[in-house]
Amino acid sequence: MALVPCQVLRAAILLSYCSILCNYKAIDMPAHQTYGGSWKFLTFIDLVIQAVFFGICVLTDLSSLLTRGNDSQEQERQLKKLISLRDWMMAVLAFPVGVFVVTMFWSIYIYDRELVYPKLLDNFIPAWLNHGMHTTVLPFVLIEMRTTHHQYPSRSCGLAAVCTFAVGYILWVCWIHHVTGVWVYPLLEHLSPGVKVIFFAAVTVIINVFYLVGEVLNNYIWDTQK
């Protein structure tokens, strides 16, 4: 019975992400019609990551309930694979990318919102949707970490995966600029080529730091409980 509140909570979070994604895609913004569409924004990619992750969490919960008391070794093996996938996504994508999006967005927003979220967007995106994309991600992922123990991969494999994601997205942003001549984020327009390289390197380091923070926090929470 102790699992029921967690199951309901994960299902509610999944539904909230589905609602946010549907409402965001329904907005008729010029940026959605340009090269790369919504997929050029890390915020949208993160929303998809979070929705897929919590979808896997819900699927894992359902599978766990359905296989409880069942002696089938095959079902047990499939459940362990699902749990491993859930834990890997939490460690490598959901936590570091989610925390990065929230902290970077609001840090730059407070400094100068025009560099990351021009005031013009207020005409398209309501305040509640903005917070759904850039604020609630953090408490949702922290709640998941607090309620469920996640087995992290080896540090070298985890950091390699995070670096691959970060470098892949940076190359995607550079490719979009190569094709369109426009940077995805206004901030990049103000940086010289040399400073851009430093900025991209710093971004990669920061997201790796968030991976390590997640690993330490996960171990602290569950080692303390043990």
Whether 96 and 162 have beta carbons less than 8 Å apart is answered as yes
Name the pTM for this structure: 0.92
pLDDT for the residue 78:
85
Q: The tokens of 22 are what? A: 């549907």
Asked if 151 and 92 count as a contact pair (C-beta separation under 8 A), the reply is no
Q: What is the pLDDT of residue 3?
A: 45
Rounded distance between C-alpha atoms, residue 89 and residue 95, angstroms: 8
* Tens digit of each residue's pLDDT, the chain (226 residues): 344 578 889 999 999 999 999 999 888 888 788 899 999 999 999 999 999 999 999 999 988 887 776 767 777 888 899 999 999 999 999 999 999 999 999 999 999 998 888 898 888 899 999 999 999 999 999 999 999 999 999 999 999 999 999 999 999 999 999 999 999 998 899 899 999 999 999 999 999 999 999 999 999 998 855 5
Domain ranges across the chain:
6-224
